[in-house]
């Protein structure tokens, strides 16, 4: 008994930290829209792993009586670099991993050299180098295939606002040559909307020819349970804001980034269970 008391006394700090973590995680999981599920635990674990790497890097510096405010920016830089060089065959991937680790080492050596030989405070040095590393990371950040609004148009808009000549952005386009796409009109009634499946992306999400705001105005607002009729089959979905508002495998009607209504499944593909094709008429009824 004495040994147990001695052990508890020695480990009370660690046990208290574990207890606080369990209580906080319980609160987090019970308030999460998806509930306590494999998907939620996996997402939380991925985020915790990232924070653990940053914490370990910072701990090494603190143990040596220093401080490094650039750790997060170094992690960002190495992640962006990894998206470029950790690709290809097993050998190329291994070399890419070595390159990423070497980049982190070089960043740390730069910080140390400035602090030691430049005789500057670590906090001042690492704030400055962190900004530099973040700038390089932005330069290396790959342009995504779908988020051109973030990766292309937003930076261009920023340069235009700063005074860039519009002629430098690209060739002049005659407005008369632009083609307007006429979408099939949606039929709108209170509690009932009939729309057309305009597009199906590679994730199995179905874009509809009706604005999310129109659904809200006709009774299919956030939180509503909706019956979906398509191709002689019926399904049920929840009108929500994000995928995580429904459980894994459940269907959701949400607004996409352009404000159009769309059908999707949390951690799944709509078209795997629904026989929906582009151009099909989709009925949405309040239930």
Are residues 193 and 139 part of one domain? no
Residue 28 lies in a domain: yes
CA distance readout (Å), 124 to 77, 108, 135: 19, 15, 17
Are residues 139 and 26 part of one domain? yes
Of 42-46, 254-258, 260-264, where does mean pLDDT reach its minimum?
A: 42-46
Are residues 138 and 19 part of one domain? yes
Residue 168 lies in a domain: no
Residue 150 lies in a domain: no
Which contiguous run of DSSP H or E holds residue 73? helix 71-85
Percent of the chain residues topping a pLDDT of 70: 96
pLDDT tens digits for range 36-90: 777 778 878 888 887 888 788 778 777 877 788 888 889 889 988 998 888 888 8
65 or 263: which leads in pLDDT: 263
CA distance 159 to 171: 17
- Is residue 110 very low, low, confident or very high in pLDDT (cuts 50, 70, 90)? very high
Give the tokens for residue 125. 């040095």
CA distance 263 to 255: 9
Task: Catalogue the E-assigned strands of 102-205.
Answer: 187-189, 192-200
pLDDT tens digits for range 150-177: 777 888 888 889 888 888 888 888 888 9
The per-residue pLDDT of the chain, averaged, comes to 86
Are residues 216 and 112 part of one domain? no
Q: Is the pLDDT of residue 141 over 80?
A: no
Percent of the chain residues topping a pLDDT of 90: 31
Q: Is the pLDDT of residue 33 over 70?
A: no
Residue 180 lies in a domain: no
- Is residue 144 very low, low, confident or very high in pLDDT (cuts 50, 70, 90)? low
Give the tokens for residue 208. 């509809």
Are residues 20 and 137 part of one domain? yes
CATH at residue 192: 2.40.30.90
Are residues 191 and 137 part of one domain? no
CA distance 209 to 261: 7
Question: So what's the pLDDT on residue 1?
Answer: 54
Please state the domain count of the chain: 2
Are residues 213 and 134 part of one domain? no
Contact partners, residue 225, CB within 8 Å, separation at least 6: 236, 237, 238, 239, 286, 287
Residue 99 lies in a domain: yes
Q: Which of 79, 113, 143 is at the close of a domain?
A: 143
Q: Is the pLDDT of residue 228 over 80?
A: yes
Are residues 112 and 58 part of one domain? yes
Domain assignment of residue 113, given as a range: 15-143
Residue 102 lies in a domain: yes
Question: So what's the pLDDT on residue 79?
Answer: 87
Opening angle at CA 188, ends 183 and 194, nearest 5 = 65
Q: Which of 143, 169, 204 is at the close of a domain?
A: 143
What integer is the mean pLDDT of 239-245? 89
Opening angle at CA 152, ends 135 and 278, nearest 5 = 140
CA distance 265 to 274: 11
Residue 160 lies in a domain: no
Question: So what's the pLDDT on residue 224?
Answer: 92
Q: Which of 143, 161, 195 is at the close of a domain?
A: 143
Residue 22 lies in a domain: yes
β 206-211/251-255 pair status? unpaired
Are residues 197 and 117 part of one domain? no
Question: So what's the pLDDT on residue 236?
Answer: 92
Please compute Rg for the chain using Cα positions.
26
Question: So what's the pLDDT on residue 143?
Answer: 67
Are residues 277 and 208 part of one domain? yes
Which contiguous run of DSSP H or E holds residue 206? strand 206-211
Are residues 214 and 120 part of one domain? no
What is the widest separation between alpha-carbon atoms in the chain? Answer: 89
Are residues 134 and 19 part of one domain? yes
- Taking the chain, what is the end-to-end CA distance rounded to the nearest angstrom? 62
What integer is the mean pLDDT of 196-213? 91
- Strand pairing partners for 264? 252
């Amino acid at each position: 008994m004495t040994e147990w008391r001695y052990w508890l006394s020695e480990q009370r700090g660690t046990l208290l930290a574990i207890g606080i973590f369990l209580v906080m995680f319980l609160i987090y999981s019970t308030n999460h829209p998806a509930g306590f599920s494999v998907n939620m635990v996996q997402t939380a674990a991925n985020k915790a792993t990232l924070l653990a790497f940053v914490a370990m890097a910072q701990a090494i510096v603190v143990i040596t009586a220093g401080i490094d405010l650039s750790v997060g920016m170094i992690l960002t830089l190495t992640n962006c670099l990894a998206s470029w060089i950790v690709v290809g065959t097993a050998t190329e991937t291994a070399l890419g991993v070595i390159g990423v680790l070497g980049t982190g080492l070089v960043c740390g050596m730069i910080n140390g050299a400035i602090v030691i030989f430049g005789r500057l405070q670590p906090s001042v040095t690492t704030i400055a180098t962190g900004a530099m590393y973040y700038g390089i990371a932005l330069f290396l950040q790959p342009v995504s295939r779908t988020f051109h609004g973030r990766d292309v148009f937003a930076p261009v808009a920023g340069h235009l606002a700063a005074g860039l000549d519009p002629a430098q952005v690209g060739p002049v386009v005659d407005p008369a040559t632009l083609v307007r796409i006429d979408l099939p009109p949606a039929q709108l009634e209170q509690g009932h909307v009939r729309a057309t499946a305009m597009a199906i992306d590679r994730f199995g999400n179905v874009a509809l020819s009706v604005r999310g705001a129109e659904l809200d105005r006709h009774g299919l607002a956030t939180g509503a349970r909706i019956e979906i009729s398509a191709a002689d089959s019926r399904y049920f979905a929840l009108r929500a804001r994000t995928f995580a508002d429904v459980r894994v495998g459940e269907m959701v009607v949400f607004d996409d980034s352009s404000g159009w209504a769309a059908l999707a499944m949390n951690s799944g593909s709509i078209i795997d269970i629904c026989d929906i094709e582009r151009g099909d008429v989709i009925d949405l009824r309040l239930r």
